Amino acid sequence: MLLRGSKIFLLILGALLTAPAAHARAADEPLALPRVLREVSEQHPQVRAAQALADAEREKIAQASAWADPVAGVEFMRRDTLRIFRSDETEFSLSQKLPLTAARRQRVALARAEAAAADSRVPAQLAPLLIRATDAFYRLARARDLLDLTRRNDEILARAVAAMQARLGDGAADVTGVLLAETERVRLLEPVIALEREAAEAANTLNTLRGLPPETAIGALDLTADPAGAPLGSFESLRDAALAHRPELRAAEARVTAAERATDVARAWLPDPEISVRARHLRGNRDPISEYDTALSISLPWLNREKYRAGTREAQRRRDAAAFDAVALRAQTLADLRDAWTRHEAAARSVALYRDRLSPLAERSLSAALTGLDSGKSGILELISAQKNLREVRNALVDAQAERSRALAVIDAMTGRIFFTQP
């Protein structure tokens, strides 16, 4: 027994020692979007709360399927005495309702429908969180990319200033060019402040959604497996997938089903019979049971028919309201999908334009300006102009990439397409 306890202790100790190392290895790896979304799905309190509520609703099925509690009682009857501890007759009773009508079956169906509605709220709660995480991930990538480009331009200008200062003594350069280059370097500091703030806000959002402290450092981002370039297919296929798989729409349809089951429960107003047994013991009788009675009783809902009719009408109105909500959400789904699809297609065309055509031209223009500055065939103005052109092209490219990814995240959430949810 002691040896077994030692083995268990060693296993627990080994797990405690290897867990930080595994966490450190995961922290050293580049952060990929699928990992972010998996952590959001597993750790976010709103998702866990929705899952806990779904588990709680599922427990109602067993409660609804159970019989009514039996009722036991005892009655002391006295004649010609007021003494509390003296009785002439003692009666014991036991009664039980028999679920012979459809009421119990309808209650079970309602509990199952409500549990299904609660289950459908979990992905509906998760979908907007995944969209926010996707947006924050690509905002962080955008800010870091532009920061790297800005630092690269500053390094180029610094080398150009050093080269021109070295040629000032030979008269091959003038002070005006040096002043222009230094002024441009100062101007580069303005977008750096905004980009650093954007990166900090995106990192804060990512950490919060992942259940980490806001100040947790985020290392390199893995953009090699970016699924944003995957073909979407036709809008018609996406529309059918959205109508079949959008979590919010499925939740609305589950509420309609639950409302229909509630209507069935309201209509099942016929009472269940109750059987009871009463046994009496008379004082002075040596037998423990002197006599007994049996009874069968039912409630009389027919005498209060308007009450049950009103309950049925209430359930029907709630079902109609849930159905109208589902119809409105179905129309809104098509409108949202069309908007996201249009934004994705426009952003994809912009990405292809800036990435395949304008960005290579801007890079070659900057290289030519650097070569011309080194050879003296061009001045600092050409270099500054080439840098500005490259910054504008890169800004437009990363903005289009971010817009394409955001639109794709919305489409993924509505259609159930596995773009961002791979483990």
Q: pLDDT (tens digit, 9 = 90+) per residue, 72-125? A: 999 888 887 777 777 788 899 999 999 988 889 999 999 999 999 999 889 888
Run of H or E including 160: helix 103-168
Q: Please report the pLDDT score of residue 326 as a whole number.
A: 92
Average pLDDT over residues 130-155: 88
Residues 306 and 276: their CA atoms lie apart, in Å, by 29
Residue 280 backbone dihedrals phi, psi, to 5 degrees: -125, 145
Q: Please report the pLDDT score of residue 2 as a whole number.
A: 36
Q: Answer yes or no: is pLDDT of 140 > 90.
A: yes
pLDDT band at 338 (very low <50, low <70, confident <90, very high): very high
Q: pLDDT (tens digit, 9 = 90+) per residue, 232-246? A: 778 888 888 888 888
Residue that wins the pLDDT comparison between 78 and 323: 323
Sign of CA dihedral 197, 200, 203, 205: negative
Average pLDDT over residues 121-142: 89
Query: Which domains are delineated in the chain?
Result: 32-71+102-272+310-415 (1.20.1600.10)
Q: pLDDT (tens digit, 9 = 90+) per residue, 27-57? A: 568 898 888 888 998 889 998 999 999 999 9
Model pTM above 0.95: no
pLDDT band at 180 (very low <50, low <70, confident <90, very high): confident
Q: Please report the pLDDT score of residue 8 as a whole number.
A: 36
